[in-house]
Amino acid sequence: MSFPSPNCGERRGGARPDLVVIHYTAMAGVAEARARLCDPAHEVSAHWLIAEDGGTEQLVDEALRAWHAGAGAWGAVTDVNSRSIGIELANGGAQPFPEPQMAALERLLAGIMGRWGVRPERVIGHSDMAPARKSDPGPRFDWRRLARSGLSVWPEARSGGRPAEFLGHARRFGYPDVEEGLLLRAFRLRFRPGVEGPLDAVDAGMAADLARRFPVDAATGAA
């Protein structure tokens, strides 16, 4: 099997992947995305690229550190590239993700999670770990579908939370230490797409449920 992207290196400190980060390419098509992810001048890459028709290409060996996450954090993990596998979905960011692409993603995720022991709560979006910079995979991505298949998580509680506790609970789930507005935007992109306005009891209740069921270790960032 060939791995055409040179934009990779060894995982630092002997780290093993225990996160998966999902992205969209925000480019015209899969060919343009592939060219960029394999171009040494751009210094970006991902382990996997999935086309709209479900075609799946491995660009970097999963054992290596691809350059997909950039600055950000999940729990105590600040070098997300060394602890994650990155998946790019060919999508401009505004359109739905086609059924063949989602089905291919589900198959790929099941394999990655089995190979590396990644837990469902450790499958996150780029916007989750970098709320100040990123919005992918965006409001059109079907996180609930992944959760129904055991490939990610979804909150059970939908109300009754205390807004004053939202930040603490969201960070206990893994969100980084950013100001409330940025964190709320990232949280809603994933769990309440299209909702606007002030932080409310539904946001707080969902965050509290996630923190209760899927807390990260404050020291290691592990689930």
pLDDT given for residue 159 in this prediction:
78
Identify whether the C-beta of residue 127 lies closer than 8 Å to the C-beta of residue 136.
Answer: yes
pLDDT given for residue 219 in this prediction:
47
Query: The pTM is what?
Result: 0.96
pLDDT given for residue 158 in this prediction:
74
Q: Tens digits of per-residue pLDDT, 210-223?
A: 999 999 975 466 75
pLDDT given for residue 3 in this prediction:
82
Peptide bond into 215 cis (omega under 30): no
Our answer to whether residue 88 is catalytic in this structure is: yes
Query: Which member of 88, 121, 179, 196 is catalytic?
Result: 88
Domain range list for the chain = 8-148, 163-213
pLDDT given for residue 191 in this prediction:
97
- Residue 201 DSSP SS3: helix
Identify whether the C-beta of residue 128 lies closer than 8 Å to the C-beta of residue 18.
Answer: no
DSSP 77: B
Residues of the chain falling short of pLDDT 50: 219
pLDDT given for residue 218 in this prediction:
58
The encoded tokens of residue 118 equal 């990644």
* CATH code given to domain 8-148: 3.40.80.10
Task: Render the burial of 192-218: b for 16+ CB within 10 Å, e for the rest.
Answer: beeeeeebeebbbbbbbbbbeebbbee
- Dist. CA 113–CA 73, nearest whole Å: 20
pLDDT given for residue 2 in this prediction:
66
